[in-house]
Amino acid sequence: MSLLSTRGLSRSFAGLRAVHEVDFDLPKGEVRALIGPNGAGKTTFVSLLCGRILPTSGQVFFDGRDISALPAHRRIGLGMAYTFQITSVFSRLSAYENVALAARRRVHGRAEVDRVVMRALEQAGLHDRPDQPAGDLSYGHQRLLEIAMGLAQAPRLLILDEPTQGLSDGEVAAFKALIRGLKDSTTILLIEHNMSVVMETADRVTVLNFGEILAEGTPAEIHANAQVQAAYLGTG
């Protein structure tokens, strides 16, 4: 069964169809990459999923429930976690405290919070620097810290918007390993421009173009798809 679905999901900005009539299904346990040329509507689409913006028309379903009208914090409460392109860590707080803020939304008591925080830091590869102020971490490590903050919420769905943008090669490798390690426990929707990340982590790929789904398939199928290649080259 799908953990997340949309039906006829649309959002316009002053007549521009940023997302248009999208029917989307993400089965439980899948890692799905969402790709598409600049301006294709990817960020708008995930903003609609998260409730950061409301649709012009259409519905979003989470675990079979229509959540189209739920505010963002209620969706988080149902088990959706997301990180966006802009880092949102508190730079003066330690890595540990940033993750603890997220963990305390779900668990209580010092020992339990500590267990959840250390596990999330470990998964993100940051367990050797819990006391470092987040603002002193490299940009790549701040992005990984945000993912740790998402993981501390034990999300049923983790949405990551361009998580590897600005990361070094070594950090991208760490990110790929992180996603592979999460595969059995979390459903993941990943907006990603780095094709090696898509090819190595995604079970399936959805391609958006001009706000509509252009293609869906395995990474190999998408890689070989002539329409997708044309969309990226702008010759379609």
Ligand X SMILES: Nc1ncnc2c1ncn2[C@@H]1O[C@H](COP(=O)(O)OP(=O)(O)OP(=O)(O)O)[C@@H](O)[C@H]1O
Residues sharing a CB contact under 8 Å with residue 39, sequence separation 6 or more, in sequence order: none
Between 21 and 114, name the residue whose CB sits nearer to ligand X: 21
What is the closest distance, in whole angstroms, from the C-beta atom of residue 17 to ligand X in the complex?
A: 8
* CA distance readout (Å), 233 to 1, 211, 227, 230: 35, 17, 10, 5
What is the closest distance, in whole angstroms, from the C-beta atom of residue 63 to ligand X in the complex?
A: 25
Between 62 and 84, name the residue whose CB sits nearer to ligand X: 84
Between 35 and 89, name the residue whose CB sits nearer to ligand X: 35
What is the closest distance, in whole angstroms, from the C-beta atom of residue 101 to ligand X in the complex?
A: 27
What is the closest distance, in whole angstroms, from the C-beta atom of residue 12 to ligand X in the complex?
A: 9
List interacting residues with ligand X (CB under 6 A): 13, 16, 18, 36, 38-44
Between 40 and 103, name the residue whose CB sits nearer to ligand X: 40
Contact status, residue 153 vs residue 105, Cβ threshold 8 Å: yes
135 DSSP assignment: G
Cα–Cα distance between 118 and 16 in angstroms, integer?
A: 45
Read off φ and ψ for residue 119, nearest 5 degrees.
-65, -45
